[in-house]
């Protein structure tokens, strides 16, 4: 990287027409109160111009490539290429590798000696460093995701008692809104990671010498067998308002634990709060049927169960008998008959019993096999409304999945009323989001994709946001998630195609004619509304 700048950064930026002299004056005044900040980072903080334009101009001045580094752009495990302490000390973030080149991002006010040290380190790994620059705030955000503070002083983590250490790990996970805590032995350390809003973040590293005490404590509070070194399931019930499911699994370095944090007495969110498109009339059309089955489809961890609960809550009335069969019961809802699957109970066996309990609506947690599917179909054909989930990539693939487990085309066509597919995308943090106009490239991508499905797109008055990161969102730039949905209502025309054994492609073509729209359409609408970002949507469903 050659430093081409011969005049102060501010002067160069004014000459390029990126900022005005008045902007530089504001920045210099700001710098008096924040002497450790450099002019480029201050201009970004003051939001004087579009961030992409600013970083590209700064990059041109210093002879580098500019980038707005976000978590979505990091395609590799950072510490596989640069040790964590080097990344922190030199503020160097490797984010992608291809054709023998490692892309490494530095702050725009980089230190050439540190950059050279990183270049040599990368060279020793047999790679050529391809340097990029971004704003210091974005480097700091990535570094923060590498190292969270479970205890007040991360360096003292191994001097904490084992009881206190486990308690701190769990309490911090609760405070940070984690859905899962991963405690996993590696070759030289035990890594602690939190899954927050669907993404895994490294929180701490514990010395490997602590492993046996850590395993003993986790097994003790989870009611697991201490002497067994095999996969086990347990529960932790000592934390108020939380029911924590624990899974252990031996690996080559010891035993890994995953703790699923389930909040007790959680209020069920309405279907519209979850991001379901449409209005009350469309919900009634899709979910208020008898003699039929509705299936929610998505990969693991994409909100299927939450959506089922919202539908059940919508249907729940004193005059309706609703029974659920779940593994496990995650949310208790007043007025429902909820059955939990255990060692002596299966979905199919419980479903047979439930049919003798005079139900109107039956929720089956998941259709896993032909036996469960056939009993669910029988329930639908005898006047009940059945809700369930299945693991597929989209709502049309539900038909193919049912075929693969052995359900006949006639039964699918006669009983399937609605299939819904969903994904969860992260919402931009309301506290630190930075508003900007859509770039020309973003407009072209979105227009092309929407036009593919006959949808027009209007950018007038629409804004998008750059993610920044703050304490409120754990320095991620995102806070909570929202669903993007596609709904396939089985019309007479589609029903006829299913019974005739038509392919998914034929069914999709007819569904598009009748108004079906895939996930990308609802996702684009949420990008246009400023709820999420195009990068986040692309990260979830790979648009480009």
How is residue 352 written in tokens? Answer: 């047979």
- CA dist 112 and 81 (Å) reads 19
Examine the domain organization and report whether 257 and 291 are in the same domain.
no
Is the per-residue pLDDT at 130 higher than 70? yes
Examine the domain organization and report whether 135 and 243 are in the same domain.
no
Is the per-residue pLDDT at 23 higher than 50? yes
Is 395 domain-assigned? yes
Which pLDDT belongs to residue 149?
A: 43
Work out the average pLDDT over 80-99: 86
Which pLDDT belongs to residue 153?
A: 37
Domains of the chain: total: 3
Query: Does the CA dihedral 13-141-195-307 come out positive or negative?
Result: negative
Which pLDDT belongs to residue 195?
A: 92
Of 157-171, 237-251, 416-430, minimum mean pLDDT range: 157-171
Confidence of residue 63 (pLDDT cuts 50, 70, 90): confident
- Write down the residue that tokens 């609408």 correspond to: 525
For residue 171, which of 217, 245, 222, 238 has the smallest C-alpha distance?
A: 238
Tell whether pTM > 0.85: no
Examine the domain organization and report whether 445 and 360 are in the same domain.
yes
Is the per-residue pLDDT at 4 higher than 60? no
CATH code for the domain in which residue 59 is found: 3.30.300.160
Is 101 domain-assigned? yes
Examine the domain organization and report whether 19 and 39 are in the same domain.
yes
Is 315 domain-assigned? yes
Identify the helix (H) or strand (E) that includes residue 202.
strand 199-207
Is 293 domain-assigned? yes
Structure confidence by residue, pLDDT tens digits, 515-533: 999 999 999 999 999 999 9
Examine the domain organization and report whether 85 and 154 are in the same domain.
no
Structure confidence by residue, pLDDT tens digits, 483-520: 999 999 999 999 999 999 999 999 999 999 999 999 99
Cβ atoms within 10 Å, residue 410? 11
Kindly report the average pLDDT of the chain as a whole number.
88
Examine the domain organization and report whether 373 and 430 are in the same domain.
yes
Which pLDDT belongs to residue 453?
A: 93
Which pLDDT belongs to residue 527?
A: 97
Which pLDDT belongs to residue 157?
A: 56
How, if at all, do strands 101-107 and 189-196 pair? unpaired
Is the per-residue pLDDT at 299 higher than 70? yes
Examine the domain organization and report whether 421 and 361 are in the same domain.
yes
Examine the domain organization and report whether 341 and 247 are in the same domain.
no
Is 2 domain-assigned? no
Is the per-residue pLDDT at 152 higher than 50? no
Q: Where among 143, 167, 202 does a domain terminate? A: 143
Is 108 domain-assigned? yes
For 217-250, give one letter per residue: b (16+ CB within 10 A) or e: bbbebbebeeeeeeebebbbeebeebbbbbbbee
Share of the chain above pLDDT 90, in %: 44
Cβ atoms within 10 Å, residue 157? 20
Which pLDDT belongs to residue 316?
A: 86
Examine the domain organization and report whether 419 and 323 are in the same domain.
yes
CATH code for the domain in which residue 534 is found: 3.40.50.300
Examine the domain organization and report whether 70 and 158 are in the same domain.
no
Work out the average pLDDT over 408-437: 93
Which pLDDT belongs to residue 160?
A: 65
Domain that holds residue 359: 280-541
Which pLDDT belongs to residue 109?
A: 80
CATH code for the domain in which residue 181 is found: 3.30.450.90
How is residue 530 written in tokens? Answer: 């400023």
Confidence of residue 6 (pLDDT cuts 50, 70, 90): low
* Cα 204 off chain centre by: 21
Structure confidence by residue, pLDDT tens digits, 191-222: 899 999 988 888 888 889 889 999 999 999 99
Q: Where among 263, 295, 322 does a domain terminate? A: 263
Which pLDDT belongs to residue 228?
A: 82
Is the per-residue pLDDT at 9 higher than 80? yes
Confidence of residue 154 (pLDDT cuts 50, 70, 90): very low
Is 380 domain-assigned? yes
Structure confidence by residue, pLDDT tens digits, 387-419: 999 999 999 999 999 999 999 999 999 999 999
Examine the domain organization and report whether 55 and 88 are in the same domain.
yes
Examine the domain organization and report whether 307 and 437 are in the same domain.
yes
Is 53 domain-assigned? yes
């Amino acid at each position: 990287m050659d430093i081409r700048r011969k005049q102060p950064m501010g002067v160069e930026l004014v000459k390029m027409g990126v900022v005005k002299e008045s902007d530089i004056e504001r920045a210099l005044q700001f710098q008096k109160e924040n002497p450790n900040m450099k002019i480029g980072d201050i201009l970004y903080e003051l939001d004087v111009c579009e961030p992409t334009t600013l970083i590209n101009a700064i990059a041109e001045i210093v002879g580098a490539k500019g980038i707005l580094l976000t978590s979505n752009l990091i395609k590799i495990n950072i510490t596989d290429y640069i040790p964590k302490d080097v990344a922190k000390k030199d503020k160097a973030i490797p984010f992608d590798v291809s054709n023998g080149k490692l892309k490494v991002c530095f702050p725009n006010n980089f230190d050439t000696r540190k950059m050279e040290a990183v270049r040599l380190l990368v060279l020793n790994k047999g790679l050529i460093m391809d340097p990029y620059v971004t704003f210091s705030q974005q480097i700091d955000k990535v570094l923060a995701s590498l190292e969270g503070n479970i205890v007040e002083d991360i360096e003292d983590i191994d001097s904490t008692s084992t009881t206190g250490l486990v308690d701190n790990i769990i309490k911090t996970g609760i405070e940070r809104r984690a859905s899962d805590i991963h405690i996993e032995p590696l070759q030289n350390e035990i890594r602690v990671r939190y899954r927050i809003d669907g993404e895994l973040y490294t929180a701490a590293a514990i010395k490997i010498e602590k492993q046996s005490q850590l395993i003993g404590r986790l097994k003790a509070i989870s009611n697991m067998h201490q002497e067994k070194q095999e996969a086990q399931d347990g529960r932790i019930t000592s934390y108020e308002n939380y029911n924590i499911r624990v899974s252990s699994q031996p690996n080559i370095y010891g035993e890994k634990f995953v703790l699923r944090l389930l909040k007790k007495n959680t209020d069920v969110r309405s279907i519209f709060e979850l991001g379901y498109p449409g209005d009350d009339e469309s919900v009634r059309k899709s979910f208020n049927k008898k003699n039929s089955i509705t299936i929610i489809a998505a990969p693991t961890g994409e909100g299927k169960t939450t959506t089922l609960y919202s539908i059940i809550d919508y249907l729940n009335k004193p005059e309706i008998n609703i029974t659920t069969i779940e593994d496990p019961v995650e949310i208790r809802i007043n007025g429902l008959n909820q059955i939990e699957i255990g060692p002596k109970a299966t979905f199919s066996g419980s479903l047979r019993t439930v049919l003798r309990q005079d139900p109107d609506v039956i929720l089956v947690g998941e259709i896993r096999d032909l036996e469960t599917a056939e009993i669910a179909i029988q329930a639908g054909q005898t006047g009940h409304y059945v809700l369930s989930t299945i693991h597929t990539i989209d709502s049309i693939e539900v038909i193919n999945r049912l075929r693969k487990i052995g359900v006949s085309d006639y039964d699918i066509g006669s009983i399937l009323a609605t299939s819904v597919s969903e994904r969860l995308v992260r919402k931009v943090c309301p506290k630190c989001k930075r508003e900007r106009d859509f770039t020309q490239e973003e407009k072209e991508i979105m227009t092309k994709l929407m036009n593919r499905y006959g949808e027009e797109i209007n950018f007038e008055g629409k804004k998008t946001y750059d993610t920044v990161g703050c304490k409120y969102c754990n320095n991620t730039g995102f806070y909570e998630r929202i669903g993007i949905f596609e709904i396939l209502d089985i019309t007479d025309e589609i029903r006829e195609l299913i019974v005739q054994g038509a392919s998914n492609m034929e069914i999709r073509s007819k569904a598009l004619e009748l108004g079906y729209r895939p996930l990308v359409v609802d996702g684009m609408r949420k990008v246009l509304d400023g709820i999420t970002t195009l990068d986040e949507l692309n990260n979830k469903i790979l648009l480009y």
